[in-house]
Structure 1
Amino acid sequence: MRSFDLSPLYRSTVGFDRLFSLLDQASGVEAGVPGYPPYNIERTGENDYRITMAVAGFSDSELSIESRENTLTVKGEKKTEEGRDAEVLYRGIAARSFERRFQLADHVEVKGASLENGLLHVDLVREIPEAMKPRTIAIASGKNASQQIEAKAA
């Protein structure tokens, strides 16, 4: 019997609490080079999450973030540098474009984004509608219970 490493499933999902939702994502393949750019997914509160991506060399004008349905897409398009006189002898800082997609659970929304020190932070929050939150039902006992049942039957 083989054991399966499910850690790749946890890397691209935010807000899912059920294994079946994670398994549905296993069939999808991310666009671009896997692993670029590197990122972290953190849980910062009960219903708060943060995605941090290492986007060194990209300015905020070269990055775009789009949230559509249950998919968060982060794109980086490096502009060509025209008119530079310097010849690059070794390029260790990646200058390639990328597109990274994250599948979001229901009711997870983007709260904001910031770029500082080469790290792009995308803050997410899961806002469950009042109608879907658990509620407490009062249990009647004694004479009141029988009166309520009779009133409904009439």
Structure 2
Amino acid sequence: MRNFDFSPLYRSVIGFDRLVHLLEAGQGNGGYPPYNVELVSEHKYCISIVVAGFTDSELEITANDNILTVKGDHRHHQNEKNYLYQGITDHNFECKFQLAEHIQITGANLENGVLYIHLQHVVPETLKARRIEIK
């Protein structure tokens, strides 16, 4: 995984340090399973997680207190195989993602061994910017 230097952001954006620490904390998953976080449009995101060998019934997605958890659990191994070389891992996993406030999960789908989780940033009307008239 790549390491990014977020230090230039500390001096230009107030309050961004908390977000940077959350991003840096999320890099400790050991690299399995590999995933991407994509900005689809201004307020829409997609997390893509490689889950080769898992069926949709072996995957569990939960969201609780701004933490998105994705678990893969092979409930039954058909038979233990004697591999000469095993490059495709199939062990159970758990990934956790810290979500920002007002992020909603709009759906998920499994396609060709990749789990796509769709997210959207929905800002309540009370928090949107409004113009104040000067009298």
TM-score relative to the length of structure 1: 0.71
12, 16, 21: which one pairs with 1:19? 16
C-alpha distance 26-110 of structure 1, shift in aligned 2 (>3 A)? closer
Matched pairs, number: 126
Amino acid at match of 2:67: T
Amino acid at match of 1:21: R
Amino acid at match of 1:135: R
73, 78, 81: which one pairs with 1:77? 73
Instruction: Report the counterpart of residue 90 of structure 1 in structure 2.
Output: 85
Instruction: Report the counterpart of residue 35 of structure 2 in structure 1.
Output: 39
Distance 2:67 2:48 in 1: 16
Q: Structure 2: 5+ residue runs without aligned partners?
A: 7-13
Alignment of 1:1-154 (within 5 A): 5-6=4-5, 19-25=16-22, 28=25, 33-82=29-78, 84=79, 87-139=82-134, 145=135
Deviation of the 1:137 alpha carbon = 2.4
Rg (Cα) greater in structure: 1
TM-score relative to the length of structure 2: 0.80
Deviation of the 1:86 alpha carbon = 6.0
For the 8 Å contact 1:30–1:101, the answer to whether it is kept is: no
Q: Structure 1: 5+ residue runs without aligned partners?
A: 8-16, 140-144, 146-154
Amino acid at match of 1:125: Q
